[in-house]
Amino acid sequence: MHPFSNACVYHIYPLGFCGAEKENDFASEPKSRILSVIDVIPHIKSLNLNTVYFGPVFESSRHGYDTADYTKIDRRLGTNDDFKKVCDALHENGIKVVVDGVFNHVGRDFDKFIDVINNKFSSRYKDWFCVRDGNTCYNDGFYYEGWEGHYELVKLNLQNPEVKGYLKDCITGWVREFDIDGIRLDVAYSLDLQFLKELRGHCDWLKKDFWLMGETLHGDYNRWMNPEMLDSVTNYECYKGKYSSFNSMNMFEISYSINRQFGSEQWCLYRGKKLYCFADNHDVSRIASILTRKEHLFGVYTLLFTMPGIPSVYYMSEFGQQGDKSQGDDALRPQFEMCGRTAITEHISKLALAHSEIPALYDGDYKQLLVTNKQYAFARCCGNSEAVIMINAEENPFTFSVGRGGSYTDFLTGKETDLSQSVTLGAYESRVYVRK
């Protein structure tokens, strides 16, 4: 079994989590804020999450995705030694470490691009970027390609062997210095496919079972997720359905998407593959701010941890944290605050334990059992391990008849239930019945 097969991820946006300044002055002494993650490890373990994915941690101008130095931890977070202490502490507690790899573009403070600004077309680094005659809003006296028109994000030329070699060397440094276990590739849908193949080979050589996950939005995910490239990609196709099915009382929406991806029909796209699934992240509104009824948080997280894929919880969403994208990115990326455990915190903790321990949930196939506008039931099976999931999204009780023989245990309550008989769930309830 691959070490990430039963991964349950805690997603941290470090600059926000640690309360760092919005701008990097590149002059201040490093502030060891990243060490605060060590204090949160008991909380992460109490959630039964076994992987931490750090958003950008390397030196950048502002938000982390405008990299200035791939070899140094952002001074607003601390030093390389500080981050090593964090990674060591996580590993000592059985928690894997994944970092953001922002390889499509750099910030304007990246030293190689500063050389181009200073020396224009005579710079030895001009072919590291997509530079030509013209100009941009920065009036540098030359044109360069910015990511999706954002000229503060300077696109790297990933067909340049020198650039590719440099990035591979950086990854080698990350593994040797911090012993990271994987990389999440920012805007993987924009990356050169040959570069992804080379990256896969380099990482396989560098460390056994190294995990590569890429940010993708739409299209056929097999283009990036295959044995020659990435292990996983972000499942944005199912992201919207996880909340809008509840808000609009139309469970057919999410069930259609999951069946399209993982059903038993020959045309289903991703059977046996593990997409990275989430209810929210650093780029979208918090799930607690999107849902019309807060009672639906329980059903959404039940779905997240039991549908095929690798589930991820964005920091503080386990407390029902609010955050609206319309208020800007800062509203989504607050400083971490330890809140009191709530019913949703406990629910997530139980679900994560189920996902990491039950083969049917982390490695099983998918079979749809029942769908109505307000109810959804499906089964996950892996050898002798089986799980039956039921979700009642309405305010009234509903009786499920799924015709599964034998005795099952509700993982959330410990109650034994015979699923050959009908089962009634109360308002907004969900159940995870398992047979090992």
> How large is the average pLDDT for residues 342-369?
97
The CB density around residue 258, as the number of other CB atoms within 10 Å, is 24
Question: 9, 98 in Cβ contact below 8 A?
Answer: yes
Round the average pLDDT of the chain to a whole number and report it.
Answer: 97
pLDDT band at residue 56 under the 50/70/90 scheme = very high
Going by C-beta distance under 8 Å and a sequence separation of 6 or more, which residues neighbour residue 103?
156, 158, 167, 185, 186, 191, 195
Question: 6, 356 in Cβ contact below 8 A?
Answer: yes
Edge-to-edge strand list for the sheet holding 310-314 = 232-233, 211-214, 182-185, 96-101, 51-54, 9-12, 310-314, 276-278
pLDDT, tens digit, for every residue of 259-272? 999 998 888 999 99
> How large is the average pLDDT for residues 198-211?
97
Question: 317, 280 in Cβ contact below 8 A?
Answer: yes
Asked if the model's pLDDT at residue 105 lies above 80, the reply is: yes
Handedness of CA 269, 274, 275, 278 (dihedral sign): positive
pLDDT band at residue 409 under the 50/70/90 scheme = very high
Cross-strand bridge partners of residue 69: 59
Angle CA 320–366–223, to nearest 5: 85
Per-position b or e across 184-209, b if 16+ CB within 10 A of its CB = bbbbbbbbbeebbebbbebbeeebee
pLDDT band at residue 1 under the 50/70/90 scheme = confident
The Cα 389–Cα 430 span in angstroms is 7
Question: 369, 354 in Cβ contact below 8 A?
Answer: no
The Cα 248–Cα 231 span in angstroms is 33
pLDDT of res. 406:
83
Note the maximum CA span of the chain: 78
pLDDT, tens digit, for every residue of 137-170? 999 999 999 999 999 999 999 999 999 999 999 9
The Cα 116–Cα 140 span in angstroms is 9
> How large is the average pLDDT for residues 93-112?
98
pLDDT of res. 2:
87
Question: 300, 389 in Cβ contact below 8 A?
Answer: no
Structure tokens at 3: 């070490």
> How large is the average pLDDT for residues 79-95?
98
Going by C-beta distance under 8 Å and a sequence separation of 6 or more, which residues neighbour residue 69?
58, 59, 110, 111
Q: Which domains does the chain have, with CATH numbers?
A: 9-363 (3.20.20.80), 365-435 (2.60.40.1180)
pLDDT band at residue 367 under the 50/70/90 scheme = very high
pLDDT, tens digit, for every residue of 59-86? 999 999 999 999 999 999 999 999 999 9
Any alpha helices (H) in 147-295, and if so which ranges? 161-178, 193-206, 236-247, 251-262, 287-290
The Cα 53–Cα 215 span in angstroms is 13
pLDDT, tens digit, for every residue of 281-321? 999 999 999 999 999 999 999 999 999 999 999 999 999 99
Going by C-beta distance under 8 Å and a sequence separation of 6 or more, which residues neighbour residue 226?
none
- Distance from CA of residue 436 to its chain's centroid? 28
Asked if the model's pLDDT at residue 436 lies above 80, the reply is: no
Whole-structure pTM value: 0.97
Question: 389, 301 in Cβ contact below 8 A?
Answer: no
Asked if the model's pLDDT at residue 405 lies above 90, the reply is: no
Reduce the DSSP state of residue 195 to 3 states and report it.
helix
Question: 370, 400 in Cβ contact below 8 A?
Answer: yes
The Cα 343–Cα 428 span in angstroms is 13
